[in-house]
Amino acid sequence: MKVLVPVKRVIDYNVKAKVKADGSGVDLANVKMSMNPFDEIAVEEAIRLKEKGVAEEVVVVSIGVKQAAETLRTALAMGADRAILVVAADDVHTDIEPLAVAKILKAVIDEEQPKLVIAGKQAIDNDMNATGQMLAALLGWGQATFASKVEIEGEAAKVTREVDGGLQTIEVKLPAIVTADLRLNEPRYASLPNIMKAKKKPLDEKTAADYGVDVTPRLSVVKTAEPEGRKAGIKVGSVDELVSKLKEAGVV
Amino acid sequence: MAVLLLGEVTNGALSVDATAKAVNALKALGDVTVLCAGSAAKAAGEAAAKIDGVAKVLVAENDLYGHRLAEPTAALLVSLAGDYDHIAAPATTDAKNIMPRVAALLDVMVISDVSKVVDADTFERPVYAGNAIQTVKSSDPKKVMTIRTASFDAAGQGGSASVADQAAAEDPGLSKWVADEVAKSDRPELTSAGRVVSGGRGVGSEENFAIIEKLADKLGAAVGASRAAVDSGFAPNDWQVGQTGKIVAPELYVAIGISGAIQHLAGMKDSKVIVAINKDEEAPIFQIADYGLVGDLFQIVPELTEKL
Ligand SMILES: Cc1cc2nc3c(=O)[nH]c(=O)nc-3n(C[C@H](O)[C@H](O)[C@H](O)COP(=O)(O)OP(=O)(O)OC[C@H]3O[C@@H](n4cnc5c(N)ncnc54)[C@H](O)[C@@H]3O)c2cc1C
Ligand SMILES: Cc1cc2nc3c(=O)[nH]c(=O)nc-3n(C[C@H](O)[C@H](O)[C@H](O)COP(=O)(O)OP(=O)(O)OC[C@H]3O[C@@H](n4cnc5c(N)ncnc54)[C@H](O)[C@@H]3O)c2cc1C
């Protein structure tokens, strides 16, 4: 079975995003970028399926600017076999909407015919939490989102999902889309020899136009603003002082 | 303009708080019809009809909708979409599973986690772990969106909307339910609680989490946790507060043994009053706390529980 993992290049999770002074967006020039953390988890899961002999090939795909090739190399160094980069923007500040990403991914999937797609549950920049579900809809496939456990059983995947009340287990027919939640696994670090080896693994470069997908956004960003700040309050010296402050504030 | 709102129905009961907050967010956009779907949904439908501002309630009772699998519920919403300009749901995990699928089936973008409705096409939503607020304008003919309930007050009671039965849509037959693992709790639900007490890695173990729970019970509060506490197995996954967990905005939030990473702050910084208890006076959580107490949580928390 072939597994396909879409990976997104995003601002590193340790970096605090800064809004540009003109309100046009978040400043991404000279900011450290990394693979979306949920996508590292997705790649790890795919590699584990390969190590277990369930999957034969792991293909990673990224859609965005040329620099996303670095993100794909990271996935190859972790253990993916092959990468596809779909260049759909020139400027690092251009983000492609999940609907357009899902349409491009659908076109890639029509060619590649994977039996399982593992995406991240959300990208930590736009926090949309949408691409996997949209892709499932476009393909007419079943979806198992927010996965914390994935087992392949014949022609189905049994997936445990993190939901508001706790956990839910469902079974989806393959081919299907799974989206990875935080506790699915702990992604490995790529070792230096594997980073070197990854440089020789195949990375195909395409453009959105190759797939005939229109990436014109449906949402336009009117403005981006800093949220209202919260000022630091006071330090209290004892539990008694805390209790009296909370009483004054009327919250206990 | 007409709005279709997917009510949050769990085991036949309506989550009135989440649904009423979404109603409040949406009612300026037009008549709100609430859809209650489930293997039992009549009682939920009646509860929805009483929410102030609801114009109509549709009840789709069918085993297909019993476990809120995304594919059948999305198909039902799509079958109804023709009559509505806005299709929305409170941003619960169920809705986040379903609504992007609905949007893609209608060939429109989903607008996730709306924190303010500016007009019929324009919405605010937080991005980058709440470090920026984006105003987006949609050019799609229909808007499909989820509502960040922590950003809105609940609509009141006293409505008397009409309730009608809704036939089921076709079953896509792509997935089936296997099991639920849901902890029963008498505590208030995290996202609607007026008070929340959360523990982090500093609490140290699952057993030690009992001191967090004792304080929560004394306050009648819900219990939350940081990701580190959940990953370490101190607390169950559905307690996680943050960018990728639950978003809360209670009257009182008590953060205990939590350092205050941006991903955690994204889930709680809109709380009215924040208390932080941490032994490290440099911990970033103190930069947003109204009342900070530096010290060992194992001494402070039992003492606080006793003195409240
Ligand atoms: C600086 C900036 C400018 C923007 N400008 C505009 C604009 O001008 N117009 C506009 O309409 N919108 C704009 N946006 C918003 C943006 O288009 C969407 O809101 C955004 O893509 C939301 O989805 P997400 O990336 O959070 O994806 P999610 O749905 O949260 O991602 C889930 C998963 O899908 C996969 N995935 C997502 N994206 C990719 C990808 N590119 N390649 C491979 N896999 C992927 C990954 O597995 C990921 O984990 C802008 C955003 C930013 C940050
Ligand atoms: C993609 C992604 C998504 C994430 N999503 C979330 C999310 O939704 N929610 C979330 O919370 N995190 C999230 N995180 C994790 C986040 O970055 C932090 O790692 C996490 O919040 C840290 O948890 P913590 O504060 O409990 O632990 P730590 O940062 O380890 O802090 C523990 C604190 O306890 C204090 N302490 C220790 N012992 C005592 C004692 N005896 N008495 C008093 N204080 C004590 C310490 O001084 C320290 O400040 C995410 C990370 C990533 C990469």
> In whole angstroms, how large is the CA radius of gyration of chain A?
21
Q: What is d(CA B109, CA A99) in angstroms, rounded to the nearest whole number? A: 6
Protein residues whose CB sits closer than 6 Å to any atom of ligand 2: A 13, 37, 124; B 200-202, 226-229, 240-245, 257-259, 261, 263-264, 267, 278-280, 283, 296-298
For chain A, the maximum distance between any two Cα atoms, rounded to a whole number of angstroms, is 68
Q: Is the pLDDT of residue A250 over 90?
A: yes
User: Which of B93, B205, B259, B303 has most ligand 2 atoms within 8 Å of CB, for mutation?
Assistant: B259
Is the CB of A7 inside a 6 Å radius of any atom of ligand 1?
Answer: yes
The confidence score (pLDDT) of residue A229 equals 81
Residues of A in contact with B288 (CB under 8 A): 230, 232
User: How many of the other CB atoms lie within 10 Å of CB of A199?
Assistant: 10
The residue among A194, A125, A118, A106 whose CA lies nearest residue A149 is A118
Q: Is the pLDDT of residue A243 over 90?
A: yes
Q: Which residues contact B246 (CB under 8 A, 6 or more apart)?
A: A164, B190, B191, B224, B238, B240, B267
Q: What is the pTM of this model?
A: 0.90
**b/e per residue, B46-75, with b = 16+ CB within 10 A?**
ebbbbbbbbbbbbbbbbebbbbbbbbbbbb
**pLDDT of A59-103, one tens digit each?**
999 999 999 999 999 999 999 999 999 999 888 777 788 999 999
Sign for the pseudo-dihedral over CA of A72, A73, A77, A83: positive
Q: Which residue of A has its CA nearest to B133?
A: A225
Contact predicate A42/A155, CB 8 Å: no
Interface of B with A in 207-246 (CB under 8 A): 219, 227, 230-231, 236-238, 243-244, 246
pLDDT by 10s per residue, chain B, length 308:
899 999 999 999 999 999 999 999 999 999 999 999 999 999 999 999 999 999 999 999 999 999 989 999 999 999 999 999 999 999 999 999 999 999 999 999 999 999 999 999 999 999 888 888 999 999 999 999 999 999 999 999 999 999 999 999 999 999 999 999 988 888 999 998 999 999 999 999 999 999 999 999 999 999 999 999 999 999 999 999 999 999 999 999 999 999 999 999 999 999 999 999 999 999 999 999 999 999 999 999 999 999 99
Q: What is d(CA B286, CA A232) in angstroms, rounded to the nearest whole number? A: 7
User: How many of the other CB atoms lie within 10 Å of CB of A67?
Assistant: 13
Contact predicate A21/A74, CB 8 Å: no
Q: Which residues contact B259 (CB under 8 A, 6 or more apart)?
A: B200, B201, B202, B278, B280, B283, B284, B285
The confidence score (pLDDT) of residue B51 equals 98
The residue among A157, A61, A182, A209 whose CA lies nearest residue B240 is A182
Average pLDDT on A210-228 reads 90
Q: Is A189 exposed, middle or buried (0-12, 13-18, 19+ CB in 10 A)?
A: exposed
User: How many of the other CB atoms lie within 10 Å of CB of B245?
Assistant: 25
Average pLDDT on A168-184 reads 97
- Give me the interface pTM, i.e. the ipTM: 0.92
The confidence score (pLDDT) of residue B15 equals 95
